[in-house]
Structure 1
Amino acid sequence: MSTLEIKDLHVSIETEQGSKEILKGVTLTIKSGEIHAIMGPNGSGKSTLASTIAGHPRYQVTSGTITMDGEDVLEMSVDERARAGLFLAMQYPVEVPGVTMTNFLRTAKTAIDGEAPKLRTWTKDVRGAMEKLKIDADFANRNVNEGFSGGEKKRVEILQMELFKPNFAVLDETDSGLDIDALRVVSDGVNRAHSENDMGTLLITHYTRILNYITPQFVHVFVDGRVAEQGGPELADELEANGYDRFLAPVQA
């Protein structure tokens, strides 16, 4: 069993007005096989947490720690974090002109594992994963995300997750922009990776609709860069019914 542990994390970014603190002491522990949902209003720090875990250089950790099985994640480069078993499904996947999906997937898998996958087995795995995610086979020869719809980009993110088999996946608003059919397909992919690989999952979302398909054991409410409340799946139901008003009122006072 692996453990991703975040302790008293403070993160800032540089703005035209100077340094601005976004995360103000976040503490979370995620273990193998657990699904944690992070919910909260816009600007509460959810995506900042995801980017910080992944190693985005814009976000500066001013204090606190992120460790995985006791190893200091903050001391790792981005590629070292990927090899250690961390995966980020981005909120806005970028296009990579000139790099085909086939080349990207195999090159990334080789870099993560330290050796190239056997071609025959790998080809079978890619085709099987694409079929399950209802990604047309022609996409394998297209450039990464170039000309893809929002839903197609999100399916490709989950395709990467299924093929790379991370220990922990951070899914940053993977449900945004998905219609109901695409939401089901993407959710099925997350559930497969979770059950087959005992993957720990940090699911960031604004809405509870994805939680109808991916059931978290833990729900954390982010407000103003802090964890305002934690609970089980029933907390998500309360947020759906009542919104974030009771958490925001003290901040606005």
Structure 2
Amino acid sequence: MSTLEIKNLHVSVNTEDGAKEILRGVDLTVNSGEVHAIMGPNGSGKSTLAYSIAGHPKYTVTDGEVLLDGENILELSVDERARAGLFLAMQYPVEVPGVSVANFLRTAKTAIDGEAPKLRTWVKDVNAALERVTLDPTFAQRSVNEGFSGGEKKRHEIAQLELLNPKFAVLDETDSGLDIDALRVVSEGVNRYTDQGDRGVLLITHYTRILQYIKPDFVHVFVAGRLAESGGRELADQLEAEGYDKYVKAAV
């Protein structure tokens, strides 16, 4: 069993007025086989948590640790974190003109595994992964995210998740901008990943609609850079009914 442990994580970002603390002591443990949903209002630090775990240079960790199977990944480069078993699905995937989806996926797989996958087998694997997220095989020849719809970008990220098969996936608002059909396809992909039984997910979302398809083991309320409350699936239902107001007022 693998474990992703976030311990007393403090993160700041530089602004025109100097450094601003965004995360103010986050403690959270995700074990393999678990799905943790993080919910909270805009500006609460949810995406900062995701990018800090992944190693985005914009964010400065001022205290705390992020341990993947006991190793502090904050001391690793972004690519080393990926090889250690970490995956980030971004809220706004970037365009990479001139780099085809096929080349991008094979390069990523080679970097993570340390050797290139056999080409014939890999092409079959890629086509199967694209088919599972309802993307045509010709999609592999397009430049990464260039001209993609919002739904295509998110489905492409789920295909990446399945092909790279990390220990832990951090999904930053994977449901953002999706229509109901794309939401179902993306959710089914996440469920295929978690059905392996030894994979963990940290799912960041504003809304409960994706939790109708992906059943979390734990739900956490994130407000003002801290975890304000944790519970089971019923906590998401409570948030849907009551909103975040009481947590925001308590954090002031």
Q: How far apart in 2 are the matches of 1:77 and 1:23?
A: 21
If the length of structure 2 is used for normalisation, what is the TM-score? Answer: 0.99
Pairwise mapping of residues 68-107 of structure 1 onto structure 2 (< 5 A)?
Answer: 68-107=68-107
- The structural deviation recorded for 1:120 is 1.6
Q: What amino acid does structure 2 have at the position aligned with 1:188?
A: E
Pairwise mapping of residues 199-218 of structure 1 onto structure 2 (< 5 A)?
Answer: 199-218=199-218
| Contact 2:2–2:198 (CA under 8 A) maintained in structure 1 | no
Superposed CA offset, 1:75-121 (max 9, x none)? 00000000000000000000000100110000110000000111121
Runs of at least 4 residues off by over 4 Å: none
Superposed CA offset, 1:175-228 (max 9, x none)? 000000000000000000111262100000000000000000000100000000
Q: How far apart in 2 are the matches of 1:236 and 1:153?
A: 26
| Contact 1:12–1:59 (CA under 8 A) maintained in structure 2 | yes
The answer for the alignment partner of 2:146 in structure 1 is 146
Q: What amino acid does structure 1 have at the position aligned with 2:39?
A: M
- The structural deviation recorded for 1:251 is 3.0
Q: How far apart in 2 are the matches of 1:33 and 1:120?
A: 31
Q: Secondary structure at the match of 2:134?
A: coil
The answer for the alignment partner of 2:250 in structure 1 is 250
Q: Secondary structure at the match of 1:198?
A: coil
The size of the alignment, in residue pairs, is 252
The answer for the alignment partner of 2:119 in structure 1 is 119
| Contact 1:165–1:197 (CA under 8 A) maintained in structure 2 | no
Q: How far apart in 2 are the matches of 1:85 and 1:251?
A: 34
Fraction of identical pairs, as percent: 73
Any stretches of 5+ residues in structure 1 without a counterpart?
Answer: none
Any stretches of 5+ residues in structure 2 without a counterpart?
Answer: none
| Contact 1:215–1:233 (CA under 8 A) maintained in structure 2 | yes
| Contact 2:39–2:219 (CA under 8 A) maintained in structure 1 | yes
If the length of structure 1 is used for normalisation, what is the TM-score? Answer: 0.98
Q: Secondary structure at the match of 2:219?
A: strand
Q: What amino acid does structure 1 have at the position aligned with 2:167?
A: N
The answer for the alignment partner of 1:49 in structure 2 is 49
Q: What amino acid does structure 1 have at the position aligned with 2:119?
A: L
Q: Secondary structure at the match of 1:196?
A: coil
Q: How far apart in 2 are the matches of 1:251 and 1:70?
A: 31
Q: What amino acid does structure 1 have at the position aligned with 2:60?
A: Q
Q: How far apart in 2 are the matches of 1:68 and 1:99?
A: 31
The answer for the alignment partner of 2:182 in structure 1 is 182
Q: Secondary structure at the match of 1:56?
A: coil
Q: Does 2:123 match 1:129?
A: no
Superposed CA offset, 1:40-79 (max 9, x none)? 0000000000000000011101001101111110000000
Q: Secondary structure at the match of 2:195?
A: helix
Range 198-207 or range 117-126, more displaced: 117-126
Range 119-128 or range 160-169, more displaced: 119-128
Q: Secondary structure at the match of 1:140?
A: helix
Q: How far apart in 2 are the matches of 1:250 and 1:240?
A: 18
The answer for the alignment partner of 1:9 in structure 2 is 9
Q: What amino acid does structure 1 have at the position aligned with 2:49?
A: L
The answer for the alignment partner of 1:195 in structure 2 is 195
- The structural deviation recorded for 1:142 is 0.5
| Contact 1:87–1:166 (CA under 8 A) maintained in structure 2 | yes
Q: Secondary structure at the match of 1:121?
A: helix
